[in-house]
Structures are given as structure tokens and as C-alpha cells.
Amino acid sequence: MYKLVLCLRYLRTRWIALASIISVTLGVATMIVVNSVMAGFTHEMRDRIHGILSDVILEARSLDGAPDAARHMELIRKQAGDLIVGMSPTAQVPAMLGFTVNGQRVNRQVMLIGIDPKTYGEVSDFGRFLQHPANRGELRFDLHEGGYDTADHQAEDPAKAAPRPMMETAGWEHRRRKAFWQQREAELAKRLAKSEVAEATTPPTESTTRDQQSAIADPFAKAEADSGEVGETFDPTSQQHPGVVLGMALGSFRDASGEDKFLLLPGDDVEVTYPMSTTPPKPGSAFFTVVDFYESKMSEYDSSFVFVPLDVLQDKRGMIDPTTGVASFNSIQIRCKPGVDLNALRDRLQEVFDPRAYVISTWQDKQGALLAAVSMETAVLNVLLFMIIAVAGFGILAIFYMIVVEKTRDIGILKSLGAGAGGVMGVFLGYGLTLGVVGAGGGMVGGLLFVAYINEIADVLAWVTGTPVFDPAVYYFAKIPTVVYPHTVAWIVAGAMAIAILASVLPARRAAALHPVEALRWE
């Protein structure tokens, strides 16, 4: 009984020990916050990556691909048809994307991906990343009249979604308006040239350069010239090139106020230059009309993916064998039934496909380095933060030691009254345990509250400091993602308590070992 009474009494009269426990509290709270945020990031990233990639991917090693997707798919179905929900062949090739902004030609390096719009949606969450509600249902690579989202439809809180006012006019409306202005500009230039020729005051060389300039500034003129058979009949106000879906970051940027600004809108034309499937590869180029944007919120993908119809790409790159009419493909995306062990499926497919010609990987293999980096980061942070708690443990040790020294006489008194060594030790171990429970418990509550209100806290901090703590423009997350795993919290709290108890063992043992006579003499 005296253990309990003294333990509580020491707790009530020695606040300094509680100060030592604050470091444990802070350590535990920080660990919980860091783990939750890291887990949140990992979870969000895995979710996104998995949404973009299909479960298992069969890729041909050559950029020119392998012929006959149908036969490959048949073989896959024969080998592992029981595990598979859907398959979709794709072709991909690095390419250059060119478009005009304010009269300036902009070129960007992209990954040009030919997808089969009918089956691609079955193997990945492609549809939900698009900006037109109809395209999210079924993508047909046709420009819509209008109705594109004017705010980020993927935002969890619609009130905080990034506004996109420029998208209001996107679609045919934008295309017609642009064509009208370009026509006017061309006419104006023509008239100007004519009047200059009539006056004959300017040298002819100048007028030719101006002609060349206007030709560069107006890609439609070139397009008309290129597309031979359509020739004069191509009318940009009513006709479109083959459709293309651009990665969001290729055609837009987010400004400081959080609004998305667009360099291109659905309805604009872009020129894509790609290597032809010849030996050696020669560049080929074609015009496409932007029909939608693809926003996976993984900046790596959003700033490089360009989707076009598979058959168009195969045709333009010359991937169709002119004699047999069989088209080549670069990869087959496979979606599995839920709960299927992806590694097992990959291994099963590897049995039948020659590893010299094909690479078969799961989506986790594809992004293994990224996922491993994040989990490595978490592990290192955990080690560092646990060190902080261990440091706090030494603080407890020092303060407890001082308390034992201060209480030496009391320990002598207790022993003279018949208290055993174990009992005296129990007083101080109980003291340490209580402080550990209080410290770790306080840290747990604090940490969980912090996690629960992390976005509000970030907002307040941003308001106080004037700079956003978590800039959505940088992270492409509207808010800080968090996931709390109860077992992680339990481990952290248990670890902190263990450290508090370990730190009190040494002083408690010293207290227990004190000789009563010497302890009583202590002044």
C-alpha cells in the first residue's frame, strides 16, 4: 500500500519529473504525426500509381514492339485466364509535343501512348482522371462542344477545388473562336503584304520573310498543306484532327493564388513528332486536336503522358505490316481479379514469354524504387525520432537519480519501518511507469489530435507566417494526407513507456540497494 501512496505523493509534489516527461510526450507525438503523414503519403501514392498503372504489364523490349496483340492476349488468357479481368494493348514511344503559345512555339518531351479507348478503361482508372464528364464515362477522342469541368473535380472538398475559369470556353467554342481570329490575322497579313507590294517602297526580301513568319505562326496553314487529300477542305471550325489527351501539367500550371492557368485548351491543335518504326528510325510528325486533359496528380505522369488512339499511332508510326496488315504493340496491360497474388501471376506469365523479348512486371515492380524510397525515409525518421525519445529517457534517468539521492533518508526511514528492498524499488519503478504512461499517453493524445486537425493547423500556420506550409501547387495534394495505423501507435506508445521504465530501473535499484543505517545518517 505504501508504494501506491508514496508513488502518488511523489508525483504530486515533484513536478520537475513531469518536465522530464514532456520530452517523451513530444517525441511520441512527433513520431505519431510523422508516421501518419508518411503513411498517408504512401497510401495516396500507391493509390494513384495503382490507378494509373494496371496490375501487371507485359512489355516488348523493343521500342518498335511486337506484332499481333490479339495472339499475345490469347496466350496470356490460356496461361492465366482464371486470374484476369481485362487486358488492353498499348503502344508507347518517346516523342516531342509542339504547340504555339502567344505566337511562340513550345516543344516538350513527352511519352506518346496509344491506347485502345474501349478496353483501356477496364485495366486502369484512366477515365476518372479526365476533365470532361462524358469522357470519364467513355472516351471517344472526339472534341466536345463544351461542358469541361471548371474546377478540379477530384478535390475532396469541392469548395477548395482549384478553379479553372479558362475551361469554360473549352471545346468547339474555343476552336471556332480561335480559327476565326487566325483567319482574320491571316487576311490582315495578306492585305498588308499586298499594299506593300503596290507601294513598292519596301524591298521584296522583307515581304518574303514576313510570309515565312506568318507561316510558322499559323500551324493550320501548314496542316492544310500537309494533309494532301483533305487539302483546302479542312475547316478548323467544324473539323478536328485525331484526338489527343494531354497530361495536365503539359498544358497548364497552377499560379500562386491556386488557380489553374492553361497554355492550351481542348480545341487547340498540337503537333507531335515521333520516331517512325523504320531502320534507322526517322522522325515523323502529325497534328492532333486536344480533346481532354489527364490529371492523375502524379506530376511525373501528368507532365509527360500524351494519349492518342492506338490505331492512329500504329498507323502513323508505320507499325502496321503493309503486307499482312498485322499491327505491332508495345505492351499489354492486364487487370487481375481482386485478391490475386500479382507476383504469382507475373511468374506464371514469365514461364511462357521469352524474357529476352518481353518484360513482365507488376505495378509495384514498376514503382518499386519510389515506394521503397518512401518506406526507407519513414524508417530513418522513425530511428531518429526514437533516438529523441531515448535521449528523453536519459533525462528521466538523471532526474530520477536526483530524486533517489534526495529521498535517501526517506528510503532509510521506510527500511527501518520494515519496507523491503523490492518494495522500495517498486515505489520508484511505479513512479517511472506512471510518468511513462502519462508522457506516452499525453503524446498519443496530442499526436492523434494533431493528425486529426493537421490541415487546420497548416492553415493557421500559413495565416500566421504568410506563406503556405503545404503548397498544393508543389505536392498536387489538395490537403495533407494522413493514415493512422493503430498498431504503429501502439508500438510507439509501448516503446516510450518501456524507455521510461528502463530509465527508472537504475535509480530504483540504487534505492533498493541503499543500506538503511547509512541512508538514515544522510543529511
Site residues (CB under 8 A) for other proteins? 1-2, 4-6, 9-10, 13, 409-410, 412-421, 423, 516-517, 520
C-beta of 413 vs 483, nearer to other proteins: 413
SS (H, E, C) 193-210: HHHHHHHCCCCHHHHHHH
Question: Is it true that the peptide bond before 280 is cis, omega within 30 degrees of 0?
Answer: yes
C-beta of 16 vs 494, nearer to other proteins: 16
C-beta of 14 vs 316, nearer to other proteins: 14
C-beta of 6 vs 32, nearer to other proteins: 6
Phi, psi of 186 (to 5 degrees): -65, -45
**Minimum separation from the CB atom of position 429 to other proteins (A):** 15
C-beta of 107 vs 416, nearer to other proteins: 416
Is-contact 332 89, C-beta < 8 A?
yes
C-beta of 8 vs 372, nearer to other proteins: 8
**Minimum separation from the CB atom of position 407 to other proteins (A):** 9
Helix (H, G, I), strand (E, B) or coil at 262: strand
C-beta of 246 vs 403, nearer to other proteins: 403
Would you report the helix, strand and coil content of the chain in percent, each value rounded to 5?
60, 20, 25
> Which cell numbers in the block locate residue 392?
528523453
**Minimum separation from the CB atom of position 485 to other proteins (A):** 37
Distance of CA 185 to the CA centre of its chain: 42
> Which cell numbers in the block locate residue 438?
502519462
Helix (H, G, I), strand (E, B) or coil at 63: coil
Class of residue 207 by CB neighbours under 10 A (exposed 0-12, middle 13-18, buried 19+): middle
**Minimum separation from the CB atom of position 13 to other proteins (A):** 6
User: Would residue 235 be called left, alpha or beta, if left means φ above 0 and alpha means ψ between -120 and 50 degrees?
Assistant: beta
> Which cell numbers in the block locate residue 205?
526580301
**Minimum separation from the CB atom of position 50 to other proteins (A):** 55
Is-contact 39 381, C-beta < 8 A?
no
Is-contact 392 27, C-beta < 8 A?
yes
**Minimum separation from the CB atom of position 363 to other proteins (A):** 58
Is-contact 395 20, C-beta < 8 A?
yes
**Minimum separation from the CB atom of position 423 to other proteins (A):** 7
How far apart CA 286 and CA 327 sit, in angstroms, is 19
Helix (H, G, I), strand (E, B) or coil at 97: strand
**Minimum separation from the CB atom of position 415 to other proteins (A):** 7
Is-contact 455 475, C-beta < 8 A?
no
How far apart CA 282 and CA 140 sit, in angstroms, is 29
**Minimum separation from the CB atom of position 431 to other proteins (A):** 12
* Residue 471 DSSP label: -
Of the candidates 103, 365, 82, 80, the residue with the CA atom closest to the CA atom of residue 215: 103
C-beta of 1 vs 198, nearer to other proteins: 1
C-beta of 128 vs 521, nearer to other proteins: 521
On the CB side of 55, CA atoms within 13 Å amount to 20
**Minimum separation from the CB atom of position 397 to other proteins (A):** 22
C-beta of 2 vs 491, nearer to other proteins: 2
